Chain A
């Protein structure tokens, strides 16, 4: 009897042992060979990875598309659409389809988020030095003067014709990378790739699933320790775009920290309780615009978005070190930080 029990127990433990820790991947016939490409553009590091036999061509085409977009969207190149608009002295400027699409969406997103996204903040951003790295806290009078010219409703666009008041300037920095992600995905598909993932300065966008059908694992940075990951989510065919106060900031002489996401309301760094906003959705352009806008709008603004548009998923980090995520990603969300994480409760 005892012997029998021993054999049985040993066998059971053995089964546990096998099922508990060896998850060997079975070698399938799926083509898992991937090609990777680094692109240094738009002031950031981009990495693209594509699977399948046409990966090389698709990556080259995607790289061309990135450089082409940089050429028209850059705010500092004197050959770009944006430069032309910003130096138009109030006259009408014809822009490319890409620029027109982004400006129109920026205005829509401005309306939708009650002005939390404002592409005319550029002169204020310059005054803070966030565009050059020569950081300084602006003089209050100067700031008030600049703010008078800030209002995205002053941007007039009909078809591809843009007209701006003389002292207003725009910058598509809050949307350009998101749009670029969408265009990379489109270029990949057009070139026969059905499985690809790109990281554009921390923003991730995926095409399809991995070749073996499993989802992509995407990590989001810990805003309190930006060189470590905070959580992992599993996605396919989605953009995962984060705006955080750790991306660009400086510490003033008095110890105050100022970051680059400004509140159009007062021209100061947006400080409405959130330190990181991640937006997950189908369209990179929308996610990019919303991540900035919701950072400005704060927790309640983010909640409002979820209530009105269930097509987006969110991961928010508050300044008191808590993670809030939307219910739709509850199954694919893994918290690997020391922070508490809870689902955003909707009314």
Chain B
């Protein structure tokens, strides 16, 4: 095997590997880390989950009621609320762009924000 052939094979392997890696990255769903916490159509928080410290904070509903929102390891969820059905808590962590966390009685929505928004 000549040196040239070796280099050629090496180069092809490297390029192929790079292509595979990039293709895999490209196929991964573009998951936004930006979320909006919206209360009755008003964005009250616009957060980049990848930058936020782990914490739990309370959002009060002006007509009465509250939700405790938790940010942990770059994920967001409602962990406690005084609403009657607790659907918002049962939803768990925000995962899908199509399925927001909603607390109907408190008109509160947590969802991924549109691409590029606020950046």
Contact = CB atoms under 8 A, between A and B. Distances in A.
A37 B23 contact: no
B87 to A, nearest CB: 9
Interface stretch (A17-25, A82-90, A188-196, A259-267): A17-25
Nearest to B6: A2
Contacts of B114: 34
B107 A38 contact: yes
A13 B96 contact: no
Nearest to A199: B98
Interface in B11-25: 11-12, 15-16, 18-19, 22-23, 25
Given A2-B8, A133-B85, A227-B95, A45 B15 contact: no
A221 interface: yes
A14 interface: yes
B22 A9 contact: no
Contacts of B11: 6, 9-10
B26 A21 contact: yes
Interface in A194-229: 199, 218-219, 221, 227-229
B37 interface: no
A30 interface: no
Contacts, number: 75
Contacts of A221: 99
A45 B109 contact: yes
Contacts of A45: 100, 102, 104, 109
Contact of A9 (B12, B27, B38, B102): B12
A38 B36 CA distance: 13
Contacts of B84: 133
Interface residues of B, number: 33
Contact of A40 (B16, B25, B96, B104): B104
A158 interface: no
Contacts of A27: none
B107 A40 contact: yes
Given A10-B11, A44-B104, A20 B98 contact: no
Interface in A135-189: none
B96 A229 contact: yes
Contacts of A218: 98
A22 B26 contact: yes
A6 B40 CA distance: 62
A173 to B, nearest CB: 16
Given A38-B38, A227-B92, A228-B96, A13 B5 contact: no
A219 B4 CA distance: 52
Contacts of B18: 17
7 contacts: A13-B19, A17-B15, A21-B26, A38-B107, A40-B104, A219-B98, A229-B98
Given A6-B11, A21-B19, A21-B25, 4 more contacts: A6-B8, A9-B11, A16-B19, A38-B107
Given A2-B5, A2-B8, A38 B99 contact: no
A227 B99 contact: yes
Interface in B67-119: 84-85, 91-92, 95-96, 98-100, 102, 104, 107, 109, 114
